[in-house]
Amino acid sequence: MTAEAIVQVSLQERQMSKQSVQTADQLKQEGNQAFKDKHYAHAQLLYSKAIEADPSNAVLFGNRAFAAIRLEEFGSAIADASKALELDPKYAKAYYRRGDASYALGHFKDAVRDFRAAIRLAPSDPDLRRKLAEAEKEQKRLAFEKALATPDEKPVSDEIVLEDIIVEDSYDGPRMEADENGQLRVTLEFIKAMLQAFKEERLIHRRYAFEIILQAQAILKQLPSLVDIDVPADTHLTVCGDTHGQFYDLLRIFDLNGLPSDTNPYLFNGDFVDRGSWSVEIILSLLAFKCLYPQHLHLTRGNHEAKSMNTIYGFVGEVKHKYTAQMADVFRETFCWLPLGFVVGGKVLVVHGGPPVACNATLDEVRKLDRNREPPEDGPMCEMMWNDPMDGPGMVPNKRGVGVAFGPDVAKRWLEANGLQMVVRSHEVKEEGFEVAHGGYTITVFSAPNYCDQMGNKGAFIRFDSDCTPSFTKFDAAPHPDKRPMAYAAGAWSSML
């Protein structure tokens, strides 16, 4: 090649490089606008296209990490922030984003490390200092709890003496009635009055709240980790997905589909609490129905029925604000007794996240699990709360940073090996409130419309008949009082949506 030709090629390469940078910058601006409009998945896609045009730009990876955080894909956020730091070790926002994602996963030591690094580069950022303080506080709390923990530690639930909690004469809310043995009992009349009080933003008395929680806990303790539900001829079962503290949308479900009863059974598939700011009202309502109809109101444990999530995303703060720290502990212990999944009609697995495909656990192995614990970071219990489906074949680490993503071939193989036809799971926002994927092997249902007052999605629920044929109902978000999501989340994290 002549010298003139080499110069010409060099000029062309520079021109192409300049065009790529311009293309990437235009895509970044479009992504920023989509992010501003709260279209996080579209923003993530635009940032990805920008990275294809200019893979050397650290800011693009940092922006995509931020979009991933909004989509709760914390594993992807950590990977993108780490790549940004490879490209630019002095990029403060990349440390910030990686710290946010680590905090969201409960990896407080990693979050502290990254927030400190970010502060060294941006010492005047007050938000960073607040987040560092929160992460250090949680890190110390975990260390303190670990130091105090003993193998035979007595449950907080055992310390509650219900008779010592006096209902004052001045209390003007719903009241429980005593049965012939003097035991306070949950009745339909009480639940209806309680729902109305909650709708008017009034709480029930602490005594009654503890009665509901402890009576429900006793029922849950008698259940196996995987529960079989029959759907006899001429009956049905309604399955709802995440409700996430959106109490007024729970009322909409009941308006559309009727209250739970022995002829109108429901299964709520986890993530009752966190994010929305009426989590206490939702969980007390569902537990009360569990007390009244123990064979016809079913509750699955989701990944947010866990201490690590409740501490960050608002439920613990909400319980402390509305009741007491002791009650938050009793809720935590009750969550540990929630079943991990249900087999409906011998055909359908209903589980919050997905089937335990990575560890290839069988239904019988799940039935034998000791679920009375906080969720581990791997194994069948973890997967059932955290796994997600994906379009492509095979199995890969989940974008969330916990569990795996599984393809249609994996779902089909696991279901057939366990004698099942489909899995119904929740755990993910869907634009129409539900999604049928994997050729019908995997269905997602999500029942929190306009999730966190910003996603614009519909909610949905599924009704199964005795043949386990699903039918879907979509619904829009219900109006609610002017209270923002995560109003009770810890400090600097109340805006992490």
- Cβ burial of 496 (10 Å; 0-12, 13-18, 19+) is middle
Both tokens assigned to 362: 């069988």
- Spell out the alpha helix ranges (H) of 263-362: 279-292, 307-313, 315-322, 325-335
- Name the class of domain 3-148: mainly alpha
What confidence score (pLDDT) does residue 18 get? Answer: 82
All structural domains of the chain with their residue ranges: 3-148, 156-495
d(CA 326, CA 320): 8
What confidence score (pLDDT) does residue 489 get? Answer: 87
b/e burial code for range 79-93 (CB count within 10 A of at least 16 → b): bbbebbbebbeebbb
What confidence score (pLDDT) does residue 217 get? Answer: 98
Contacts of 130 (CB under 8 A, 6+ apart): 491, 492
CA atoms within 13 A on the CB side of 248: 19
β-bridge partners, 389: 406
- Record the pTM: 0.92
Both tokens assigned to 415: 């279901």
Active site residues: 304
Q: What is the CATH number of domain 156-495?
A: 3.60.21.10
Compute how many other C-beta atoms are within 10 angstroms of the C-beta atom of residue 471: 11
Task: Kindly give the interhelix angle for 247-257 and 188-199, rounded to the nearest 10 degrees.
Answer: 130
How big is the chain, counted in residues? 497
What confidence score (pLDDT) does residue 7 get? Answer: 45
Alpha carbon 2 to chain centroid distance? 63
d(CA 444, CA 192): 30
Q: pLDDT tens string for the chain (497 positions)?
A: 565 555 454 545 556 578 989 999 999 999 999 999 988 999 999 999 999 999 999 999 999 999 999 999 999 999 999 999 999 999 999 999 999 999 999 899 999 999 999 999 999 999 999 999 999 998 998 888 777 766 677 899 999 999 999 999 999 999 999 988 889 999 999 999 999 999 999 999 999 999 999 999 999 999 999 999 999 999 999 999 999 999 999 999 999 999 999 999 999 999 999 999 999 999 999 999 999 999 999 999 999 999 999 999 999 999 999 999 999 999 999 999 999 999 999 999 999 999 999 999 999 999 999 999 999 999 999 999 999 999 999 999 999 999 999 999 999 999 999 999 999 999 999 999 999 999 999 999 999 999 999 899 999 999 999 999 999 999 999 999 999 999 998 765 555 55
Helix (H, G, I), strand (E, B) or coil at 341: strand
Alpha carbon 372 to chain centroid distance? 19
Find out whether 171 and 205 touch, Cβ atoms under 8 Å: yes
d(CA 304, CA 448): 14
What confidence score (pLDDT) does residue 9 get? Answer: 45
